[in-house]
Amino acid sequence: MSTPSLLILPGDGIGPEVMAEVRRIIDWFGAKRGLPFDVSEDLVGGAAYDAHGTPLTDDTMALAQDADAVLLGAVGGPKYDVLDFSVKPERGLLRLRKEMDLFANLRPAQCFDALADFSSLKRDVVAGLDIMIVRELTSGVYFGEPRGIFEDGNERVGINTQRYTESEIERVARSAFDLAMKRDRKLCSMEKANVMESGVLWREVVTRVGAEYPDVELSHMYADAGAMQLTRWPKQFDVIVTDNLFGDLLSDLAAMLTGSLGMLPSASLGAPMSNGRPKALYEPVHGSAPDIAGQGKANPIACILSFAMALRYSFDQGAEASRLEAAVEHVLAEGHRTADLLGEEGRAPLSTSAMGDAILAALD
């Protein structure tokens, strides 16, 4: 098999700083685990605008379409706030998501034992938590027609439409079942089939796809009850699949069960390519953090865990992904902390590269 290709787009602000640590880890897997990657690097966001006058060139877009996976840092910053909407850094990211047709957004909520006291919930409720929310990303109420603000008699009416085709539900359901097969084989689908026809169809299609996955235990829950259960006892879940709107809320809720923005990875997956791998973009949930950029303060773990997700979901290297996650868990257990993980403690924080050093040492 040929060497898998990885396109790296560090972007702006702390993006390049955290990505530098990921590059060292990628090199480690090549040298120590016989797992080489054909890595190329290019510009996105403000960095691309500065060089080319556009947040994503056609050449970079073509590289992304051809790569086995794309790993992105973050885009944006105050310097670019004055730019016209059409060339803002965020447009680069939106173009990638749209043209790669990334319809399944994966947001894990994972709680490392050493950080359990960081949560707003009790330690018992979150310690060891490891769940995955799959949010449909390209359809639903954020895109459905008709939409707009219209005149209606002597007042105005604001309209958005929740619209899902069977094929849109089917493809995201299939992504979620495939994921569940690589995890604990438990999938909970959330909608509001009690009050929404789109939810009735959602439940029907997910159930139908489920027949192809007899090894996955499928359950259904109304999304409001799901929100309660996520805060009451989140460990009852493994994979959750839901629509764009409910997924927006539930993934943010689940992520915050576990603490800092500097710890949260994500993936966006599309249809399988000719080699069987899904189109895929991996990125930390956080932004470019202009308040700490250029100071070596950023926590690289969110970006490092995004690469772990790439190992698991694009490259079928689940054991190597677990190895990397265990190294992160180990350094946290040893008490290594970047500034964002220290809170009010008076201890001196680790720099971005010192955290990278610690994780590499743990891998060794």
Determine the 3-state secondary structure of 301 from DSSP. Answer: helix
Residue 248 engages Mg ion in binding (rule: CB under 5 A): yes
User: Of 65, 66, 67, 61, which is closest to residue 48 (Cα–Cα)?
Assistant: 61
Per the residue annotation, which of 101, 113, 184, 252 is the catalytic one?
252
Is residue 32 among the annotated active site residues?
no
Nearer to ligand NAI, 93 or 193 (CB): 93
Is residue 186 among the annotated active site residues?
no
Nearer to Mg ion, 20 or 245 (CB): 245
How far, in Å, CA of 215 to CA of 235, rounded?
20
Tell me, rounded to whole angstroms, the distance of Cα 152 from its chain centroid: 40
User: Of 306, 324, 319, which is closest to residue 360 (Cα–Cα)?
Assistant: 324
Is residue 142 among the annotated active site residues?
yes
Cα angle 68-72-78, degrees, rounded to a multiple of 5: 160
Is residue 117 among the annotated active site residues?
no
What does 248 bind: ligand NAI, Mg ion, none (CB cut-off 5 to 8 Å by kind)? Mg ion
Among 261, 271, 354, 360, binds ligand NAI (CB under 6 A): 261
Q: Shortest Cβ distance from residue 76 to ligand NAI (Å)?
A: 3
Residue 298 engages ligand NAI in binding (rule: CB under 6 A): yes
Strand 155-161 and strand 186-191: the pairing is: unpaired
Determine the 3-state secondary structure of 293 from DSSP. Answer: coil
Determine the 3-state secondary structure of 26 from DSSP. Answer: helix
Per the residue annotation, which of 12, 49, 192, 213 is the catalytic one?
192
Which H helix or E strand runs over 66? helix 58-66
Is residue 27 among the annotated active site residues?
no
Nearer to Mg ion, 99 or 252 (CB): 252
Interface with ligand NAI (CB under 6 A): 14, 18, 74-77, 90, 93, 261-262, 283, 286-292, 298-299, 302, 340
Q: Which residues are annotated as a binding site for Mg(2+)?
A: 224, 248, 252
Catalytic annotation, residues: 142, 192, 224, 248, 252
